[in-house]
Chains A and B, each alone.
Chain A
Amino acid sequence: MDQIKCECGHANPVGTMLCESCGRPLELEIKGEASFPDMRYEGMARRSQTYSRTIIDRIWNYFSSVKVAIGIIVIILVASAIGTVFPQQQYIPVPVPTEPDVARFYTETYGKLGTIYYTLGFHNMYSSWWYVTLLVALGTSLVICSLDRVIPLYKALSKPRVNQHKSFLKGQKFYGEAELPAETDSAALVEAASAALRKKGYRIFQNDQAMMAEKGRFSRWGPYINHIGLIIFLLGVLLRNVPGFYLDEFVWVREGQTIAIPDTPYYVKNVQYHTEYWKEEEMAQELDLKGGAVVKSYQTDAILYLNKNADLPGANPDLVEIKSGPIIVNHPMEHEGLALYQTGVQEMQLGALNFVLVDKKAGNKEIGPIKLDLYNVPAEQQVADGVKVRVLDYFPDFVMGKDGKPATQTNLPKNPMFALEVVSEADNASEKLVYLSGSIITEKDDSRYTLEIKMPDLIDISGLMVRKDKAVPLIYFGSFIFMIGVAMGFFWQHRRIWLQFHGTRVMLAGHTNKNWYGLKQEAGAMIEQAKLPIAIEDKSKA
């Protein structure tokens, strides 16, 4: 193994900039402060600074460079900003069912720029392969740069050197030296200086000719801890792509309905839905709402069931109630990581049609009520003694097909059409009727029966989002670690002060990674208390 020998006799690994033993700068002449080695790892060798032979070395060096990291960060920043110029596809305010609709939306709304935006794929910026690649590159860089630096840093921090080489001290931004009167007791001065700094919370390492005071060493780990937090965070984000870690479903449930939640063994029932508005007396100030109202809450009272037969294919569901209660915006219903969110509503939708059967031949006598539940159509119902109504045909969303036959567009009862048969058991006769768009069409002109239309039942349909995200705890954990790291790094600072006697000369130097002001204040107070005759020269190198 190659080694570099220092004047003091210590053998250092290749790449070392400051001797591990005495702190003298290796392999370079100290000309001015500008060429003094970086203090960050006390000049310890780093892999990336040492090898560059193989491809692996090159990749390693590339990703461990902070310059490259900043480049990646800036590219992500710019790309993210471009992604907000026009709305992303998911936020387009009008329905765009097909790809050509999407293209047309951007062209028609934003003109030429919109076309370019769409063509370049910026309308799906954040899930594009290259954006994801950038995030992965950032993650790689984080891992490699941390590995590259963590051991040198450990070495640097675990071996505090009391006796630094003169040139090390002179190289510091914060430095001063002075001639002492011949009879000065250096041990006593060291003692006085130590005492002053100890009071400020410094740890003291000393012998009778030299002292090093240090505090906040742990804060140097801040960057590594915060980067580990980021790595955990990014891992969490990637994990969501693993099947089973992330579930995202949406169900419409009408009042009274119980439906299965796709991809889960659960069922949900919408017991009741309602929207509440702020009342005037609840408001702090009178507002001119121009006839509108402010919504106070959207709420679905729901019951969550578990299907015990979920694992048995073909078996009828066996539902047990697990949880019941309200689902409100900001207050999802949660059960074992599954959460149901109040996200949408269709209010006052047709639920059932109501009629009264009328006998025209008996002087428009009302025979009895008929209810046609649009979601659960009864095949036959008894209207009165001896009179039945049968449903022959039902089209929830009626259209006349191209072939001249009636058809339905969707399964939703937007435009219900019924063909009914009234059967009178007494005289064994029957008559057909059709209901469509608020009117009744009878089979014959002089028919005996007709229907009188009553208020339909209106129901609310809740839109519930169902989410499960097992990666979330990991993501929070990563964020938490990041915050700890950043707080360590920024709210504490690593400060060191060296005091050395060389014959009749005394030298004082200080180093900190941040907050020079604080260091100067503390060193200044120490100089005063220990009555050191040193004037600090303020080298503006920073």
Chain B
Amino acid sequence: MQLVQLSDWLLDIAFVLYVLASIVFVVAMTGKNWAGRDPKQHELKYGRIAYWLALIGFIAQTGYVIFRWIAGGHSPTSNMFEFMAFLDYCIILAYLIIYRIYKLTVIGAFVLPLGVIMLAYSYVFPKEITPLIPALQSYWLHIHVTTAALGEGILAVGFAAGLMYLVRTVPQEAATKSTRWLEIVLAVVMMLVGFIGMESTFSRLDHKTVFELPKEQLNFQGEMEKMKVEYTLPAIVAPEGSKIIQAGPMTPLFTAPSWMEGKDAARKLNTMIWSVISGLVLYGGLRLILRKRLGAAMQPAVKDIDPELIDEISYRAISIGYPVFTLGALIFAMIWAEEAWGRFWGWDPKEVWALIVWLFYSAYLHLRLSRGWIGAKSAWMSVIGFVIILITLVVVNLVIAGLHSYAGV
């Protein structure tokens, strides 16, 4: 019990340090041209502080991983909270490795905010240590999931560098297709932030809306009872044919379309709508304050960085992440599946999406190596690749149910 407490604290400390590191990184990049400063000196000084903050945060998170592992008796990768926090850990680890190679302050300015978002996202899920169900009791759980997460973490750094490349090189003088897409990517990031913000605010407020569905279900006492769905967020969409048995802060505006199946479909749609709304509000607010495209606002901070170098960093990260991902998410997964289910491949949605990620990065590598897709094209590919990883982690885990869905959220 004490170990669990300790590991929770360490994770909170890591979170705070990552937030601080992100802020200092941004100051390092944007404050270069403040009056009376030597830009090089400024970047060096603040970059170093930020790097150390990130490193100490990483050490704290290492402590979290170790203590939670000991307390739970298994690697902290067995539910959605643990997996997301671990993925975040891998992103920071990948950042530290790539930074050691290239020593470029700006990498941190893009990767650490990503780390903060991922860690905050993990906090949305239930944090309890749950005992392992039989299917997860295998040392392959540790090997497969940790390696896959490491691969995804390194690919995430490839994404951050790709995004950086686009911010650096997409011309901002006039609105073009590229600027529009870049704004869309940034707006989607805002939606993720919006989702995290809404979810963590409302889970504290306890403004639940509870619906009763017309379907029945066996409960643990073996009796049939009406299914219930609980919304943490205010209800915009109600499940079809449902009745409100505990009113929340809002009356639903409409019901979910009937083809949306599953007990939680409407709730997920509701969450999605709130994420989009809050993301757009955040994005719109920022645009009002900055009075220009977000891409245009970010560009000056990175304008003196060699785009070719960023391009190479993105590619390097992907070319390191790709083998690790292959090993963890496909090969180890196949070995485990063979041991647990007697088939190394079963076309379960989760497996298929790992294959899709892999095929996508294979296409990326061929386009780059043989068709000369470098620079902007390559950067867009790295962004799309990470979006596919996020789909795999978020949408497939939460929406498409399969053998793997250990996420009860």
Contacts and interface: CB of A to CB of B under 8 A. Distances in A.
Interface of A: 40, 66-67, 69-70, 73-74, 76-77, 80-81, 83-84, 87-88, 90-91, 109-114, 125-126, 223, 248, 278, 282-285, 287, 290-292, 294-298, 328-332, 339, 341, 343, 465, 467, 469, 472, 475-476, 479, 482-483, 486-487, 490-491, 513-517, 538, 540, 542
B135 A330 contact: yes
B221 A291 contact: yes
A296 B335 contact: no
Interface stretch (B183-191, B200-208, B370-378): B370-378
Contacts of A542: 308, 311, 374-375
A126 B347 contact: yes
Contact of A329 (B1, B340, B366): B340
A74 B339 CA distance: 30
A287 B130 contact: yes
A476 B322 CA distance: 18
Contacts of A515: 312, 316
A83 B347 contact: yes
Q: What are the 4 A-B residue pairs with the smallest beta carbon separation, nearest first?
A: A467-B342, A329-B134, A291-B220, A66-B370
A221 to B, nearest CB: 14
10 contacts: A70-B366, A111-B259, A114-B259, A285-B4, A294-B131, A295-B134, A329-B135, A490-B320, A514-B319, A542-B311
B334 A540 contact: no
Contact of A91 (B315, B331, B348, B362): B348
A84 B1 CA distance: 41
A192 to B, nearest CB: 28
Interface in B233-253: none
B371 A285 contact: no
A268 to B, nearest CB: 15
Interface residues of B, number: 67
Residue among A90, A113, A291, A330 with max Cβ neighbours from chain B (10 Å)? A330
A77 B371 contact: no
A91 B403 CA distance: 9
A73 B367 CA distance: 11
A298 B322 CA distance: 36
Given A80-B359, A83-B352, A491-B323, 18 more contacts: A70-B363, A76-B359, A83-B347, A111-B258, A283-B129, A285-B128, A291-B221, A294-B130, A296-B131, A297-B137, A298-B134, A328-B134, A332-B342, A467-B343, A476-B335, A479-B330, A483-B326, A516-B312
A75 B348 CA distance: 19
Contacts, number: 157
Contacts of B259: 110-114
Contacts of A467: 342-343
Interface in B298-354: 308-309, 311-312, 315-316, 319-320, 322-323, 326-327, 330-331, 334-335, 338-344, 346-349, 352-353
A109 B319 contact: no
Contact of A73 (B4, B72, B362): B362
A297 B360 contact: no
A84 B352 contact: yes
B261 interface: yes
B141 to A, nearest CB: 9
B71 A284 contact: yes
B323 A486 contact: yes
Interface in B95-144: 102, 128-131, 133-135, 137-138, 140
A282 B72 CA distance: 10
B242 to A, nearest CB: 18
B396 interface: yes
B335 A84 contact: no
B285 interface: no
A76 B400 CA distance: 20
Contacts of B335: 476
Contact of B319 (A73, A479, A490): A490
Contacts of A69: 366
